[in-house]
């Protein structure tokens, strides 16, 4: 683990009475390997480019289908990716992968986010949690532990895969929340969602802006709401639609270890739990309006502070 990271997380998690292991662990021990050139879950790898390093994450089943378009080869995917990356500048490789909607990052490309003080100035009354996977649900869980009423929207049409992939983590993240199944493809489902959001102090999302806009959800429609937007690289600007997951976002922030000049993953999808923690601290410190929590920026902030 990067020098100082455990102590830094322990200091900031103390607000919630938690140990770092309470944030980092999930029930995937039998499916996780030791992080190194390959991430603990096996889906993300470091690739040596002509002038640097990139981390490419093939986390979704369909990602393998587009690899030939990136490599111009039908060979074994990771061998072909290694050969393609070696002859290309890292940013060029990254940009082509982004065009194919792949999760990719150049090591250390992200700018550090500005983190809030680790203290409790305000506890929200009601939180609506529309997020999925790890970071967003962790943020809402920490707010629930702090005393907020949290309503979790369980999308019938697009359920959170965590309940199946990691049921123990799902129970820890969502056990204190009131779960409300809604079909957001239907008018009644969207109307119920809007009713809850209009009554809330805080909304936690992890979808891209375009997907939320299709539901009629835009930050400017809710000026009195604290909207916690957890994304890979940012909710607005050029990065708004960019795909990313915990391991590649950690690499984007430079939250890696170096061994003989080569970057190595540390931990398991570190950008996820770190961002969940920091998003909750931002709310409790009194942040209002749009709270843009980019996982890569949080990872960069931790990398800067921990070394």
For residue range 207-235, list pLDDT tens digits in order.
999 999 999 999 999 999 999 999 999 99
Write out pLDDT tens, residues 164-191: 888 888 999 999 999 999 999 999 999 9
Report yes or no on 151 lying in a domain: yes
pLDDT for the residue 298: 98
Residue 194 domain-assigned (yes or no) = yes
| 167 within a domain of the structure (yes/no) | yes
> Residue 80 domain-assigned?
no
For residue 30, what pLDDT is reported? Answer: 67
- Cα distance between residue 88 and residue 48, in whole Å: 9
Domain that includes residue 121, residue range? 1-31+108-307
In a domain, 46, yes or no: no
Taking 70 as the pLDDT cut, the residues of the chain under it are 1-3, 28-30
pTM, rounded to two decimals: 0.94
What pLDDT does 94 receive? 98
In a domain, 40, yes or no: no
258, part of any domain: yes
The count of domains in the chain is 1
Q: What is the CATH number of the domain that holds 208?
A: 3.40.50.10540
Q: Is residue 130 part of a domain?
A: yes
């Amino acid at each position: 683990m990067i020098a100082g990271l455990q102590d830094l997380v322990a200091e900031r998690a103390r607000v919630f009475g938690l140990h770092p292991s309470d944030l980092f662990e999930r029930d995937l021990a039998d499916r996780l390997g030791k992080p190194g050139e390959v991430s603990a879950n096996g889906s993300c790898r470091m690739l040596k480019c002509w002038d640097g390093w990139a981390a490419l994450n093939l986390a979704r089943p369909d990602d393998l289908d587009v690899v030939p378009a990136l490599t111009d080869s039908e060979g074994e995917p990771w061998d072909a990716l290694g050969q393609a990356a070696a002859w290309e500048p890292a940013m060029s490789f990254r940009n082509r992968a982004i065009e194919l909607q792949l999760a990719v990052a150049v090591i250390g490309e992200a700018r550090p986010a500005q983190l809030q003080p680790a203290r409790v100035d305000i506890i929200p009354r009601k939180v609506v949690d529309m997020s999925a996977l790890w970071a967003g649900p962790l943020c809402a869980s920490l707010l629930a532990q702090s005393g907020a009423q949290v309503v979790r929207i369980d999308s019938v049409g697009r359920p959170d895969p965590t309940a199946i992939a990691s049921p123990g983590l799902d129970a820890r993240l969502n056990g204190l929340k009131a779960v409300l199944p809604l079909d957001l493809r239907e008018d009644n489902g969207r109307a119920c969602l809007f009713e809850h959001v209009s009554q809330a102090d805080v909304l936690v999302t992890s979808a891209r802006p375009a997907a939320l806009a299709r539901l009629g959800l835009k930050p400017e429609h809710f000026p009195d709401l604290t909207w916690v937007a957890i994304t890979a690289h940012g909710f607005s600007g050029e990065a708004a639609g960019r795909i990313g997951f915990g391991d590649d976002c950690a690499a984007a922030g430079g939250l890696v270890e170096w061994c003989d000049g080569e970057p190595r993953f540390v931990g398991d999808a570190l950008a996820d739990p770190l961002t969940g923690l920091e998003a909750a601290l931002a709310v409790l410190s009194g942040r209002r309006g749009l709270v843009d929590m980019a996982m890569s920026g949080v990872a960069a902030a931790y990398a800067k502070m921990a070394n």
